[in-house]
């Protein structure tokens, strides 16, 4: 599985996909004329048609975080955005999603081209193209370097996102836990983690109320 920590196939109704895709495709404010693709990454919530899938993805993210031991011991948010590519799109150069509290990132391949486009890059510059069939939902570490080739012929539509921790708890013993909280400071350009050792008066109280 390599850098993929979790994966499953979720095939969304094609009418929903087409509706969301067409709203993005027909909105020129979402078009990048340099890379020649559409993205909602920089948009506010009023200009994100993919938010119709918020509850749908909330259930998937709950399943992911439960299976990787995060759900009952953390507060998290899961921002996501949509991207639409054609065979005229340019390569999306190597990048990662980590800036301080992103621990996991994910991609949902809603429509897929004939060629594999998404790939990871190792420390020697080698490319690794994971399986990326229509409906595949993959989760990987946010620090993993990755890039995207343009589709050779077909259109390509994906939704990507992160799981950002705002707090995480680790039980030290029956009465003590270590709690870490993430804060954005300096006009949100700097983030800091605060670490506390907490003595619990209620032994039955564990975990946070997840956002």
Question: Running DSSP on this structure, what letter comes out for residue 154?
Answer: S
Do 158 and 109 touch, CB atoms closer than 8 A?
Answer: yes
pLDDT tens over the chain, length 211 residues: 589 999 999 999 999 999 999 999 999 999 999 999 999 999 999 899 999 999 999 999 999 999 999 999 999 999 999 999 999 999 999 999 999 999 999 999 999 899 999 999 999 999 999 999 999 999 999 999 999 999 998 899 999 999 999 999 998 888 899 999 999 887 777 899 999 988 766 555 556 544 4
What is each CA distance from 211 to 53, 79, 95, 141, 166, in whole angstroms?
17, 12, 27, 20, 9
The CATH fold assigned to 6-165 is Jelly Rolls (2.60.120)
Q: How many residues does the chain have?
A: 211
Q: Between the CA atoms of 112, 65, 123 and 83, what dihedral angle is there, to the nearest 10 degrees?
A: 30
Domain boundaries, the chain: 6-165, 166-199
Q: What is the pTM of this model?
A: 0.91
Do 77 and 164 touch, CB atoms closer than 8 A?
Answer: yes
Tokens of 15: 């009418």
Rounded Cα distance, 198 and 131, in Å: 43
Residues 6+ apart with CB under 8 A from 7: 1, 131, 136, 137, 138, 139
pLDDT number for residue 1: 53
Residues forming beta bridges with residue 80, ordered by sequence position: 161
What sign does the dihedral 95-140-166-158 (CA atoms) show?
Answer: positive
The owner of tokens 């983690």 is 193
């Amino acid at each position: 599985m390599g850098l993929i920590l979790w994966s499953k196939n979720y095939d969304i109704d094609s009418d929903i996909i087409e509706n969301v895709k067409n709203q993005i495709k027909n909105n020129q404010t979402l078009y990048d004329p340099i890379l020649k693709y559409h993205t909602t990454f920089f948009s506010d919530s009023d200009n994100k048609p993919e938010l119709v899938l918020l509850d749908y993805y909330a259930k998937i993210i709950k399943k992911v975080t439960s299976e990787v031991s995060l759900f009952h011991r953390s507060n998290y948010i899961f921002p996501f955005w949509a991207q639409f590519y054609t065979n005229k799109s340019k390569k999306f150069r190597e990048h990662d999603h980590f800036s301080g509290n992103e621990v996991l990132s994910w991609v949902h391949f809603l429509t897929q081209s004939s060629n594999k486009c998404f790939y990871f890059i190792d420390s020697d510059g080698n490319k690794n193209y994971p399986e990326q069939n229509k409906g595949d939902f993959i989760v990987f570490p946010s620090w993993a370097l990755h890039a995207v080739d343009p589709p050779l012929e077909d259109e390509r539509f994906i939704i990507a996102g992160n799981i950002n921790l705002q707090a995480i708890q680790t039980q030290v013993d029956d009465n003590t836990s270590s709690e870490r909280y993430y804060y954005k400071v300096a006009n949100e350009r700097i983030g800091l983690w605060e670490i506390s050792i907490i003595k619990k008066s209620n032994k039955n109280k564990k975990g946070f109320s997840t956002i």
